[in-house]
Amino acid sequence: MERQMTWLLALTIAGIAAGIDLKSRRIPNWLTIPGFFVGLIVNRLMYGWSGLEWSLVGALAMLAVLLPIVLLRGLGAGDWKLMGALGAALGLRNVFYVFFTAILIAGLMAVVQMIWQRRIVETISNMWELLRGFFVYGLKPHPEIQLGNARASHLPFGVAAAAATLICYGLGTIRL
């Protein structure tokens, strides 16, 4: 029952984020910041100091891993904070399962979107430009290929994160 509580917290945070992200393409601070602290508190109350430690490590690992992508403007700050909040709720091991599943789901969503919008050649060209720019210029955002560009396609990563959280919870083999 105890593990269910952290998963239900993560499912609630991710589900609300997905709904808001679908509508507005943003994930608000009023959800992610309290979600982060509630994750810490719940894990501390349920598992003691080791639960708090795992919660903090899970949140900080997600924030650290995703920070370069946010700085390159390939991921929104709300998505970044959402993964931090999920890390606080689920701990290190479980949030990485969710993270990798979310990456797969987001990749599938991106391929479907690319085909649907008939932007295959443009997308491949942009990917090449980003890769080339990374090796030439380092971690600097590309002026045109980033989230701030109104012409760029936007993917609701909150939906992928919510689906991944649900899938990982449903598998039931993942433990804290």
Residues 37-88 pLDDT 10s: 999 999 999 999 999 999 999 999 999 999 988 887 778 899 999 999 999 9
Of 15-24, 50-59, 94-103, 136-145, the one with minimum mean pLDDT is 136-145
Contact 82, 158 (CB under 8 A): yes
Residues 15, 145, 123: CA angle, nearest 5 degrees: 85
Interval 17-32 mean pLDDT:
94
| 167 assigned to some structural domain | yes
- pTM over 0.75? The answer is yes
Model confidence at 134: pLDDT above 70: no
Q: Is 74 exposed, middle or buried (0-12, 13-18, 19+ CB in 10 A)?
A: middle
Give the per-residue pLDDT at 137.
61
Q: Within a 10 A sphere around the Cβ of 8, how many other Cβ atoms?
A: 13
Residues 140-165 pLDDT 10s: 555 555 544 455 556 789 999 999 99
| 10 assigned to some structural domain | yes
| 91 assigned to some structural domain | yes
Query: Based on the structure, what is the number of domains in the chain?
Result: 1
| 176 assigned to some structural domain | no
N-to-C CA span, the chain: 12
Q: Which helix (H) or strand (E) holds 3?
A: helix 2-24
Q: Which domain, by its residues, includes 66?
A: 2-171
Give the per-residue pLDDT at 114.
76
